[in-house]
Structure 1
Amino acid sequence: MTELHATQVAARPRATASPLGPVALTTLLFGAFLPMLSFFIINVALPAIGSDLHASSGELQLVVGSYGIANATLLVVGGRLGDGFGRKRLFLIGLTGFTVMSLICAIAPTIGVLLAARVVQGAAAAAMTPQVLASITSLLTGEHRARAMAMFGVAGGAAAALGQILGGVLVEADVFGLGWRAVFLVNVPVGVLALAAAIRLLPETKANQTHRVDLVGAALLALTLVLLLLPLTEGRPLGWPLWTWLCLAATIPAVAVLGLHQHRAEQSGQAPLIPPTVLRLRAMRIGLLLAVAFFTTFGGFMFVFALATQGEAHMSPLEGGLSLLPMAVGFLITSIYGPRLQQRYGASLILRGWLVQAVGYAVLAVVALTLWPDVNPWKLAVPMLIAGFGSGLVMVPLMGVVVGQVPPAQAGLGSGILLTSQQTCLALGAATVGTAYLALAGTSWGQGGALAAVALAITAVSLLMTPVTHQLRSRA
Structure 2
Amino acid sequence: MTATLTTHQPPATSLAPVALTSLLFGSLLPMLSFFMVNVSLPAIGADLHASAGSLQLVVGAYGIAAATLLVVGGRLGDGFGRRRLLLLGLAGFAVASLVCALAPSVSVLLLARVVQGASAAAVTPQVLASITSLMTGENRARGMALFGVANGISAALGQILGGVLTDANPLGLGWRAVFVVLALGALVALVAVAVTVPDTKAAEAHRVDLVGAALLALTLVLLLLPLTEGRALHWPLWTWISLTAVVPAVGLLALHQRRSERSGHAPLIPPSVLKHRAMRIGLLMAVGFFTSFGGFMFVFAIATQAGAHMTALEGGLSLLPLAIGFLITCIWGPALQRRYGVGMVVWGWIINAGGYVLLAGAALMLWPDVSALKLALPMLIIGIGGGLVMIPLIGVVVSQVPPAQAGLGSGILLTSQQTCLALGAATVGTVFLSLASTTWGFRGALAAVALGLAAIAVLMAPVTHQLRRTRA
Structure 1 residue 184: Cα displacement:
0.7
Query: 1:6 maps to what in 2?
Result: none
Query: 2:396 maps to what in 1?
Result: 401
For residues 88 and 464 of structure 1, the distance between their equivalents in structure 2, rounded to whole angstroms, comes to 41
**Is the 2:12–2:137 contact (alpha carbons within 8 Å) kept by the matching residues of 1?**
no
For residues 371 and 69 of structure 1, the distance between their equivalents in structure 2, rounded to whole angstroms, comes to 36
Query: 1:253 maps to what in 2?
Result: 248
Structure 1 residue 448: Cα displacement:
1.0
Query: 1:376 maps to what in 2?
Result: 371
For residues 345 and 412 of structure 1, the distance between their equivalents in structure 2, rounded to whole angstroms, comes to 24
Alignment of 1:200-239 (within 5 A): 200-239=195-234
Matched, 1:462 2:457: yes
For residues 363 and 442 of structure 1, the distance between their equivalents in structure 2, rounded to whole angstroms, comes to 23
Query: 1:3 maps to what in 2?
Result: none
Per-residue displacement from partner, 1:304-336 (whole Å, max 9, x unpaired)? 000000022111111100100000000111123
Query: 2:318 maps to what in 1?
Result: 323
Aligned with residue 90 of structure 1, among 85, 90, 94: 85
**Is the 2:75–2:205 contact (alpha carbons within 8 Å) kept by the matching residues of 1?**
yes
**Over aligned residues, Cα RMSD in angstroms?**
1.0
Structure 1 residue 473: Cα displacement:
0.7
For residues 17 and 295 of structure 1, the distance between their equivalents in structure 2, rounded to whole angstroms, comes to 34
Query: 2:423 maps to what in 1?
Result: 428
Structure 1 residue 337: Cα displacement:
2.2
Query: 1:114 maps to what in 2?
Result: 109
Output the amino acid matched with 1:58: G
For residues 396 and 359 of structure 1, the distance between their equivalents in structure 2, rounded to whole angstroms, comes to 19
**Is the 2:26–2:186 contact (alpha carbons within 8 Å) kept by the matching residues of 1?**
no
Per-residue displacement from partner, 1:378-430 (whole Å, max 9, x unpaired)? 11000000011000001111111100000111111000000000000000000
For residues 389 and 195 of structure 1, the distance between their equivalents in structure 2, rounded to whole angstroms, comes to 32
Structure 1 residue 189: Cα displacement:
2.0
For residues 191 and 413 of structure 1, the distance between their equivalents in structure 2, rounded to whole angstroms, comes to 27
Query: 1:162 maps to what in 2?
Result: 157
Query: 2:178 maps to what in 1?
Result: 183
For residues 18 and 465 of structure 2, the distance between their equivalents in structure 1, rounded to whole angstroms, comes to 40
For residues 206 and 189 of structure 2, the distance between their equivalents in structure 1, rounded to whole angstroms, comes to 29
Query: 2:47 maps to what in 1?
Result: 52
Aligned with residue 451 of structure 1, among 446, 454, 458: 446
Which ranges of 4 or more aligned residues in structure 1 deviate by more than 6 Å? none
Query: 1:28 maps to what in 2?
Result: 23
Aligned with residue 341 of structure 2, among 340, 343, 346: 346
**Is the 2:24–2:147 contact (alpha carbons within 8 Å) kept by the matching residues of 1?**
yes
Aligned with residue 146 of structure 1, among 135, 141, 144: 141
For residues 348 and 267 of structure 2, the distance between their equivalents in structure 1, rounded to whole angstroms, comes to 33
For residues 224 and 271 of structure 1, the distance between their equivalents in structure 2, rounded to whole angstroms, comes to 20
Structure 1 residue 376: Cα displacement:
0.4
Matched, 1:284 2:308: no
Q: Number of paired residues? A: 461
Query: 2:98 maps to what in 1?
Result: 103
Query: 2:60 maps to what in 1?
Result: 65
Output the amino acid matched with 2:152: G
For residues 441 and 166 of structure 1, the distance between their equivalents in structure 2, rounded to whole angstroms, comes to 27
Per-residue displacement from partner, 1:250-299 (whole Å, max 9, x unpaired)? 00000000000001111111111001111111000000000000000100
For residues 183 and 118 of structure 2, the distance between their equivalents in structure 1, rounded to whole angstroms, comes to 17
Runs of 5+ in structure 2 lacking a partner?
1-10
Output the amino acid matched with 1:105: C
For residues 335 and 430 of structure 1, the distance between their equivalents in structure 2, rounded to whole angstroms, comes to 25
1:18–1:358 Cα change, 3 Å: closer
Output the amino acid matched with 1:92: L
Query: 1:267 maps to what in 2?
Result: 262
For residues 286 and 198 of structure 1, the distance between their equivalents in structure 2, rounded to whole angstroms, comes to 35
For residues 157 and 445 of structure 2, the distance between their equivalents in structure 1, rounded to whole angstroms, comes to 25
For residues 212 and 146 of structure 1, the distance between their equivalents in structure 2, rounded to whole angstroms, comes to 28
Matched, 1:76 2:68: no
**Is the 2:227–2:427 contact (alpha carbons within 8 Å) kept by the matching residues of 1?**
yes
Instruction: Using the TM superposition, name which of 71-80 and 147-156 deviates more.
Output: 147-156
Query: 1:390 maps to what in 2?
Result: 385
Identity %: 72
**Is the 2:273–2:408 contact (alpha carbons within 8 Å) kept by the matching residues of 1?**
yes
Per-residue displacement from partner, 1:117-147 (whole Å, max 9, x unpaired)? 0000000000111000100010011222122
For residues 410 and 332 of structure 2, the distance between their equivalents in structure 1, rounded to whole angstroms, comes to 21
1:155–1:279 Cα change, 3 Å: same
Q: Secondary structure at the match of 1:463?
A: helix
Query: 1:192 maps to what in 2?
Result: 187
Structure 1 residue 467: Cα displacement:
1.0
Structure 1 residue 17: Cα displacement:
7.9
**Is the 2:208–2:266 contact (alpha carbons within 8 Å) kept by the matching residues of 1?**
yes
Q: Secondary structure at the match of 2:15?
A: coil
Structure 1 residue 18: Cα displacement:
5.2
Matched, 1:41 2:72: no
Instruction: Using the TM superposition, name which of 185-194 and 166-175 deviates more.
Output: 185-194
